[in-house]
Amino acid sequence: MKAISEFILEKKLVIQFTLFLLLAVGIFRILGMNREAFPNVALDKVVIQAVLPGGTPEEIERLIAIPIEKQLRSVGNIDKVRSYNLENVSVIMIFLTEGQKDTQKIVDDIKDAVSLAQLPDNANKPTVSEITTEKQQVIDLAFTLKQPTNSPISDYKKLRDIAKEYEDRLFQIKEIAEVQRFGYRDRQFLVEVNPAALNARDIGLNTVLNALGSRNIDVPSGVLKLKGNEYLLRTKGQFEEAKDMLNVPLVGNENGFTTTIKDIAKVFDTYKDEEIYEIVNGKEAIVLRIWKSEQADIINTTEITKLLIKSLNEQYPEVKVASFDDKSADVTKQIGDLGLNFATGLTLVVLALFIILGPRLSMMISLAIPFIFIITFILIKQAGLTINTVSIFGLIMVLGMMVDNSIVVAENTYRLMQEGLARKDAILKTFKDVLIPLIVSMLVITSAFLPLLFLSGIVGKFIVGIPKVVLMTLFVSLIFSLTFLPNWLNTFLPNTVRVTHKHNEPDEKTGFFTVFLMAYKKTMQWAIHHRYIALGLSGVLFLSMFFLAGRFLSFYMFPPGGEDDIEIKTWMPVGTTLEKNLSTINSLEPMLSKLAGNDLKYIRTRVGIHEAPVIDPKPGQETHRSHIMLKLVPEDERKEKWKDAAGLVNQIRTTIANAQKEGSLDKGLFVDVNAKVKGPPIGKPVSLEIRGSDYKIIQEIANLYIEKLNKIEGVTDIRIDLEDGKEEYRFHVNDSVAALTESSAKDIARSVRTAYNGEIASSISKGEDKINIMVRFPESSRMTMESMKNVNVENKFKRLIPLDKVTYVTRERSFSMINRQDLLRIVRLEASIDTKKTNSLSVNSRLKKEINLDKFSGYSVNFGGEQEDSQKSFKDLGISMLFAAAVIFAIFIVYFDSVGTTLVVLASIPFGIIGVLFALMTHGQPLSFMSMLAIVALSGGIVANTLILITFIEELRSTGMPLDEAIISGGEIRLRPIFLTTVTTVIGLIPSAYGVPTLDRFVQPLSLAFGWGLAFATVVTLVLVPIIYRIKEDISTKLKSIRLVK
């Protein structure tokens, strides 16, 4: 070891060259790293989509979902299976057990299992795909015409063509992986058949469909060999324009008279009917959503995209292109704010070092920060991390801790020089004194942070970057303090230090720290003499703080505050048309815009759908639903009186309720309003999953919970996802009449579907477009029950049979969607909460306590959403803390070879928690996942300082120094480095804890908890730990005397 130390000190050029080489590599790594809002995480989900045309939800459940679910039982590594069964389609979500390395094998096994399911012959082949986060959303572009005309179709065609040109150009950007289109309707040739003209000529709809399909052909017909040359043959009959269909013959007679399409129908070159209305800032729009590839940088991709859009805008001045939902803007602000906080913290750390250590030592320690920071990025890049909110906060969290090891080495060297050792000798002795304690400290801190790498769930995957960054930074810090820093000390420190006073004696020139040192000495003399009183007072403080926390400290998984997005989901009564829903939303939007005022950046509405969260992509397209997103300016820029998003949410709820009472807003409208809390995606504050086989009993159970929720103050927007479907007119085939008239059930169904929904007769390929030829009745013939009398069924002899002769009609209603989980039906009951009145934990606890389900045998209720995420995360945190404590205990047993001394060190951890609780209560912060994360991380920092303190005390005792003197002197010797490491860490966290200069609500709880916890833990380390150590010695002495007496 001495040879290595000598090499480090003597080979200055080699060491410095190595340092700058690492520095160059680190800078290169930083420049090559991708930036994004939050890290990519593995979702561990696979989705199956199976289509059965014309199937009702009950049929989809019985014929599609159940057979597939049963086959999936044979596939391993599946946690649960959830299916959503609605008209025509079943969406089956498979949740894989976490930690799977080879998900592709599981996906292949799922495909094999699905292929074995016995499905109906007319069902489409199910698709199986894994949900990944390889692509990330970048920005949305909304296209509107600046000056629309009186022709909606021509306006839409113009807008669509221009949007398509933008899309084609966007795909030329290599960083763009996908361009998703919304409000972009497919072109179609529409044939609107006049039922009266059709019936007058005794022509059936099947004849129309067959005629168009037979005429629209473009078929290769072989090769003609003629005089040594080959010629390709092709039969051409494909329609080029909609008008080409007008002369298609349908029937003829012996007189040569032919009935054509133009005799019984009108044709239009148009677009599919709207299924979802896309509205941006009050105007209908076509929206292009840009997705970047996994390797692309989100900010660079957005900048390139905006440059292209700017150039294209000059070519198409008639179109307005508005960008919104710009993820890069959020990333830029988050990274900028955190970077500014980092720079502010760095400045404060350097200033604190300068004040306490003086210019020379502080300069060398301060220079270590950027070097450690840059070199760490070599490991960060190697670990596959990106520059995002989580990784940057990891750097902020460890900012002050970066120099802890360097402070210990530099301060110990300087102290030894003050005691008379020459520079080189002081450095070599420092190696000997602190090498093992520093390594053990690193092992201890690693033991505290390491379990955080294995937290389960999406929350654990989301924050895994924090412990990774912290551990990598501290590893680089340790190596730096034992290699490059000693080389610097040997280069820049004088050979000797002129000492004008004895060590630890006051000197006017040493400033406030000497006064602080003497005050500490007097405090310790009193505390050691009255150690049992001091320990008792500490115990009272500890218990009091926990009592107060239990009474006044609330809990939130991720505390509200700082939200920029207001999400509003709306429901009209089931069966509401898309047009009526749009009319209601058009009445609602101005109210929302007025409430948000000048603090509204944009409002984006999707009428006819609820967008599903990434954690549970539940199908949400229904004509009676809408999804509204309000984007607000950042919290610190707002001018409206409500300021925080929660205030606006309450105003929105109140305004909507008043408008419905006054009649200015449809009373059938139900709204769910929430401010989107920053952090990883988690479920609703109240989310109950009721499982069983009978919907009537499930509904009865749900009503019990709904009744209770209505009585809890602060619970809002209570809704159950068991919805009746639209009322159905069901055509039942009269088998005897059908047989008599030679009419098949298939012919009957096709006739009804063609008349009302439309049937595709054929299709045309033009460029990238596939144009369907759609045949149906005009809208005026589809609006009343009387119109059904115009529908005739064409039998196999082409005779027309009135629909009401071969069918009878009943009116029935079923469920719009049947949800299942693990072979049982499931209904989800969800509610939002007013965070100023209650919280998720309180509400869910009351529901569990006050509702008894013993009489509902075979039925179960699972508390999901935020409650489930909380339980899972805190269970993992608890296990992590126990694991960390066990490993730390083992390390100290080996290091101290004493159970008693090890217990003294570990006893400091509970007392450090007092600082966390105090900080949260005094700052009005709730207990949260991030603050609990701080407690786990804090335990490593506390025991690391305690370790070095106890080590010095025992070294002094080994020289023969009396016990009390050794305890006090050990504390005095370690006072400055412990004080310095604490001050630098706490000061480094001040900007992110107090928003100086900018506030990030997501990281604030961790900064507050960690900073205050460490500050209080320092007092524990310097005062309480020596007291406990002294009491331990009292007990040891007492036990020895007892053994001697025996």
Structure tokens at 248: 């298609």
The neighbour count for residue 554, using CB atoms within 10 Å, is 16
Question: Comparing 966 with 911, which gets the higher pLDDT?
Answer: 966
Contact 937, 448 (CB under 8 A): yes
> Could you give the domains of the chain?
2-32+349-557+870-1045 (1.20.1640.10), 45-131 (3.30.70.1430), 136-186+274-330 (3.30.70.1320), 188-271+728-812 (3.30.2090.10), 563-676 (3.30.70.1430)
Is 80 exceeded by the pLDDT of residue 868? no
Q: How do strand 769-776 and strand 187-193 relate by DSSP bridges?
A: parallel
pLDDT band at 639 (very low <50, low <70, confident <90, very high): confident
**Taking the CA atoms of the chain, what radius of gyration do you get in angstroms?**
37
Is 80 exceeded by the pLDDT of residue 342? no
Is 60 exceeded by the pLDDT of residue 826? yes
Is 50 exceeded by the pLDDT of residue 551? yes
Is 80 exceeded by the pLDDT of residue 872? no
The tens digit of pLDDT for each residue in 419-438 reads 889 998 999 999 888 888 88
Structure tokens at 106: 């599981």
Distance CA 697, CA 630 (A): 38
Structure tokens at 3: 């040879």
Give me the amino acid identity at 949.
L
The neighbour count for residue 199, using CB atoms within 10 Å, is 17
The tens digit of pLDDT for each residue in 106-129 reads 999 999 999 999 999 888 899 998
User: What is the maximum alpha-carbon separation in the chain?
Assistant: 135
Model pLDDT, residue 260? 92
Model pLDDT, residue 291? 93
Give me the amino acid identity at 853.
L
Question: Comparing 881 with 732, which gets the higher pLDDT?
Answer: 732
Please state the rounded mean pLDDT for residues 609-627: 82
pLDDT band at 1 (very low <50, low <70, confident <90, very high): low
Nearby residues of 965 by Cβ (< 8 Å), 6 or more positions away: 956
Q: Quick one: how far is CA 901 from the chain centroid?
A: 44
Is 90 exceeded by the pLDDT of residue 269? yes
Is 50 exceeded by the pLDDT of residue 51? yes
Is 80 exceeded by the pLDDT of residue 497? no
Listed residue (646, 652, 507) closest to 592, CA to CA: 652
Is 60 exceeded by the pLDDT of residue 502? no
Tell me 596's DSSP state: H
Model pLDDT, residue 595? 92
* Beta bridge partners of residue 222, listed in sequence order: 233
Model pLDDT, residue 506? 39
Contact 384, 34 (CB under 8 A): no
Mean per-residue pLDDT over the chain, rounded: 87
The tens digit of pLDDT for each residue in 876-921 reads 878 877 888 888 889 889 988 888 888 888 888 887 788 889 889 9
Is 90 exceeded by the pLDDT of residue 158? yes
3-state secondary structure of 424: helix
The tens digit of pLDDT for each residue in 682-698 reads 778 899 999 998 888 99
Model pLDDT, residue 693? 87
Torsion sign over Cα 454, 456, 460, 461: positive
pLDDT > 70 fraction of the chain, expressed in percent and rounded = 97
Model pLDDT, residue 965? 92
Is 60 exceeded by the pLDDT of residue 613? yes
